[in-house]
Structures are given as C-alpha cells and as structure tokens.
Amino acid sequence: MALGDGAVTTETKKIQLIMELRRMGITDTRVLAALERVPREAFVPPKFAAQAYDNTALPIGQGQTISQPYVVAYMTEKLEVGKRMTVLEVGTGSGYQAAVLAPLCRRVYTIERHRPLYREVSRRLANLGLQNIFTRYGDGAEGWPEQAPFSRIIVTAAAPEVPPALVEQLVVGGLMVLPLGPGLIDQELTLVRRTKRGHEIERLIGVRFVPLVAGSVDGGED
Ligand code: SAH
C-alpha cells in the first residue's frame, strides 16, 4: 500500500456516503456539510473504524449503538435547527449526533445514562475541540431543567410515549424529534411541535432504536 492510501480511502468513502444520503432524499446542504465535517471514525470503537462510513448503525459498548448516518441526517434535517438555537439531546451515546448538531446551532446540551459512555464522550468531544456541546450524566427523560427552555429537542432512544418533562422544556413553537414505540420493533420517528396549549404530533418514518430507559446506571470505573 502506498503512503496516504488509507486517508484517500476514508475521504472517498465519506464522499460516497454523502452522495448516498442525497440519493436517499436528504437535501439540506447545511446538514450534509455537517455530516461531511464530523469524522465518524472518531466516534466508533477502533475495530469498526473501517466501517465508519458505511450507512449502518454500529456497536459502541454497553449494548448501545451509534445511529445509522441516514437516520442522523434525517432527524437533523427534520429538526430545522437555526444558528441561534439551543438544542437538547437525550441519549448522547458516542456523541456523534451531538457533533453533527454543534456547527448548526449555538449550543447542544446532551444527557447520557451510562456513566462509562458519558465519561468517554466528554473526553472525545474535548479532544475534537467541540466547545459548544455540554454533557451531563443522568436520566434524560427528565430533561435539563436548569438550561430549559430549548428551541429543539432530539431523543435518540425509543420511548413508549412523549416524555411530558421534555414537552414542558420546549419553547412554544419549538420542535422535538423522537422515536416512539413500545418495543424494539414498530417504532415510528415522530415530530412534535409545542403549541400554547400542548403539542401536535406528525408521524415520519419507521426506525429501530435502543429503548429509552428510566434512571441512570453507574457501571463502575471505566
Ligand atoms: N445519539 C447517539 C446514539 C444513541 S444510542 C449517537 O450519536 O451515538 C441511545 C443512547 O441513549 C444510549 O447510549 C443509551 O444509554 C442512552 N439512553 C437510554 N435511555 C436514556 C435516558 N433515560 N437518559 C439518557 N440516556 C439514555
């Protein structure tokens, strides 16, 4: 292998992935640019680095996964994030979705219930110099009341119903995207719009996410 081949391959794979996302219907160029900018290989375990630009979910430890790039792009597009907005993410996981949102808004607040993932991601985001992402360890279904209200909320784990605390922490007119479903199958990505009196719901596409689990787990030392 000639020097530099690895880098060229990664770059080529990344461009092919962006082209695939366009073919699949992602049209927002800011979203595509954000995905192009974030090195997904830095968010997956080293043994999966070669698959970092495959359009698939991958394991990240603790039985959790980094979402499929198409789903990340689709959810980000549906969120219609603006430069001055604050965004809350529930389910930090690898931190990839947060890193994609970061260049599109003012601040991303993200909560993870697995302490080893939380520790790892805080280090990773600092190493990548992503300074407008704030991480927290805890139960994201409770939201982050001290920083509320949020312009946008994204939940990257499936809940049986819209968590009421999250609707309360959304500004009137604000949007939330989350997978809704009772189990591992038959989940529907859902768009929630906060209104003066409550919220409206629009069903989007079928998806498969890990479940939103109440409470947090320490998981000991990492
Ligand atoms: N957004 C992630 C993928 C998330 S996988 C990424 O870009 O990599 C879903 C994550 O949600 C898992 O890490 C899981 O531990 C976390 N999770 C599940 N229930 C949660 C809860 N109640 N509060 C916070 N995080 C939760």
Segment 132-138 shows an average pLDDT of: 97
Q: What is the CATH number of the domain that holds 69?
A: 3.40.50.150
Residue 103 gets which letter from DSSP? Answer: G
Most ligand 1 atoms within 8 A of CB, residue of 38, 64, 65, 169 to mutate: 64
Indicate whether 96 belongs to any domain.
yes
Question: 23-50: per-residue pLDDT in tens?
Answer: 999 999 999 999 999 999 999 999 999 9
Task: For residue 8, name the pLDDT band (cuts at 50, 70, 90).
Answer: low
Question: 163-180: per-residue pLDDT in tens?
Answer: 999 999 999 999 999 999
| SS3 readout for 41-76 | HHHCCHHHHHHCCCCCCEEEECCEEECCHHHHHHHH
Distance of CA 60 from the midpoint of ligand 1 (Å): 11
Q: Is 76 a pocket residue for ligand 1 (Cβ < 6 Å)?
A: no
For CA atoms 15, 56, 100, 32, the dihedral sign is positive
Instruction: Work out which ligand 1 atom sits closest to the CA atom of 212.
Output: 19
Task: For residue 7, name the pLDDT band (cuts at 50, 70, 90).
Answer: low
CA distance linking residue 33 with residue 18, whole number of Å: 9
pLDDT score for 62? 86
Indicate whether 214 belongs to any domain.
no
pLDDT score for 219? 64
Indicate whether 7 belongs to any domain.
yes
Question: 181-198: per-residue pLDDT in tens?
Answer: 987 778 999 999 999 999
For residue 6, report the phi and psi dihedrals to the nearest 5 degrees.
Answer: -55, -45
For CA atoms 133, 118, 125, 61, the dihedral sign is negative
Closest residue CA from atom 19 of ligand 1: 212
Indicate whether 101 belongs to any domain.
yes
pLDDT score for 221? 43
Task: For residue 200, name the pLDDT band (cuts at 50, 70, 90).
Answer: very high
Range of the domain at 64: 2-207
Indicate whether 148 belongs to any domain.
yes
pLDDT score for 49? 94
Most ligand 1 atoms within 8 A of CB, residue of 144, 207, 213 to mutate: 213
Indicate whether 138 belongs to any domain.
yes
- pTM listed for this prediction: 0.94
Q: Is 120 a pocket residue for ligand 1 (Cβ < 6 Å)?
A: no
Indicate whether 17 belongs to any domain.
yes
Indicate whether 97 belongs to any domain.
yes
Split into its structural domains, the chain has a count of 1
pLDDT score for 41? 96
Q: Is 115 a pocket residue for ligand 1 (Cβ < 6 Å)?
A: no
For CA atoms 81, 83, 87, 92, the dihedral sign is positive
Q: Is 210 a pocket residue for ligand 1 (Cβ < 6 Å)?
A: yes
pLDDT score for 222? 40
